[in-house]
Amino acid sequence: MIVAAPPESTAEELAAALAHHRQAVVLDIASVKAGVLTDLIRLAEAPDFGLDRADLGRYVGTHPMAGRERSGPVAARGELFTSMPWVICPAEHPHAGRLSTDAAVAWAEEIARRLGASIHRMTPSFHDESVALISHLPQVAASLVASRLQDAPSDALELSGNGLRDVTRIAASDPNLWVQILSGNSAAVLEILYGLREDVQRLIGTLEDPSAAGSQADLAQLIAEGNAGVARIPGKHGAPPRAFSVLTVIVDDKPGQIAAVLNDVAITGVNVEDMRMDHSAGHQVGMVELSVLPGRRDELAQALNEMGWKVVQS
């Protein structure tokens, strides 16, 4: 049985499910794990639900990392979980140790496997620390940046490109859900925000006097630290990150153009490692950015030019 409820009510739903379905393995898919488990143990030890420690052996915390900034049936996709991380967090009692049985954990992993997900096992606390960094911090940063746009002049926003869209995309997420997520994982998020605050204060101090000795070097160091962080993000299929060459194909803003570009790329036999789309401000054209292995860039550019496409190499 899978409990899919907002974080603040997940523990109660789990306790009720364990009490009413005495033979079932019960999973949850909430995006915070340690707090849910703490609340569930507290409920199980209370007399209201009639549960005991053995019942908690049928519970396994899980978190499919396949969320989107949109929600509801219209945002559903059949391949939502394919190749996406699915975290398995066997329940642990702070004093008694492991609670989830091997059979319950195996069934939780089997569900993830049947949906095509990539299985990752970790403790509830390590899970929460991890998602605070790779999920919750980006959400906070996106929302804070996007909030600066509320009163921005329209003329300024017309200059927006993929950089702004990339940074703010997830700011469209559900506020009610994120109130619960951030509240439920506040301790882990706070530790990261304290470090971010130090970096922001350092940047502010440098920009307040950019001509001071060492200011340029400090700005360069700050950007370089970002480069180093980006370089640690896993690359395609979870492999080590690789540097790709990018070429841009200018296409008319009309149906069929992207499909036509990709069809011609397929004819060349060059594999596209990544792709993104942007639109030119003030012109009825689009720009399809294709990332390829550096050794294949010139070959692809020449072939597409010969096929009649306008190609710009970066």
Q: What is the per-residue pLDDT for 236?
A: 59
Q: Is residue 237 scored above 60 in pLDDT?
A: no
Domain 2-122 class in CATH: alpha beta
Domain ranges of the chain: 2-122, 129-231, 245-313
Tell me the pLDDT tens digit for each residue of 273-295.
Answer: 888 888 766 667 888 999 999 89
Q: What is the mean pLDDT of residues 292-310?
A: 92
Q: Where residue 68 falls among pLDDT bands split at 50, 70, 90?
A: low
Q: Tell me which of 3.20.20.70, 3.40.50.720, 1.10.3660.10, 3.40.640.10 is the CATH number of domain 129-231.
A: 1.10.3660.10
Q: Where residue 243 falls among pLDDT bands split at 50, 70, 90?
A: confident
Q: What is the per-residue pLDDT for 162?
A: 79
Alpha helices in the chain (DSSP H): 7-20, 34-45, 53-56, 102-114, 124-131, 137-147, 154-157, 162-168, 175-184, 186-208, 215-231, 257-268, 297-306
Residue closest to 300 by CA, chosen among 313, 288, 284: 313
Which fold is adopted by the domain 245-313? Alpha-Beta Plaits (3.30.70)
Q: Where residue 223 falls among pLDDT bands split at 50, 70, 90?
A: very high
In percent, the amount of the chain with pLDDT more than 70 equals 94
Residue closest to 200 by CA, chosen among 114, 130, 256, 140: 140
Q: What is the per-residue pLDDT for 159?
A: 86
- The residue ranking higher by pLDDT, 9 or 77, is 9
Residue 240 makes CB contacts below 8 A (sequence gap 6+) with 234
Q: Cα(38)–Cα(132) distance, rounded to whole angstroms? A: 18
Neighbour tally for 89: CB within 10 Å: 26
Q: What is the per-residue pLDDT for 85?
A: 94
Tell me the pLDDT tens digit for each residue of 128-181.
Answer: 999 999 999 999 999 999 999 999 999 999 888 878 988 999 999 889 989 999
C-alpha 40, offset from chain centre: 27
Q: What is the per-residue pLDDT for 279?
A: 72
Residue closest to 121 by CA, chosen among 60, 197, 72: 60
Q: What is the mean pLDDT of residues 59-67?
A: 92
pTM score over 0.85: no
Q: In this structure, what token pair is assigned to residue 294?
A: 């550096």
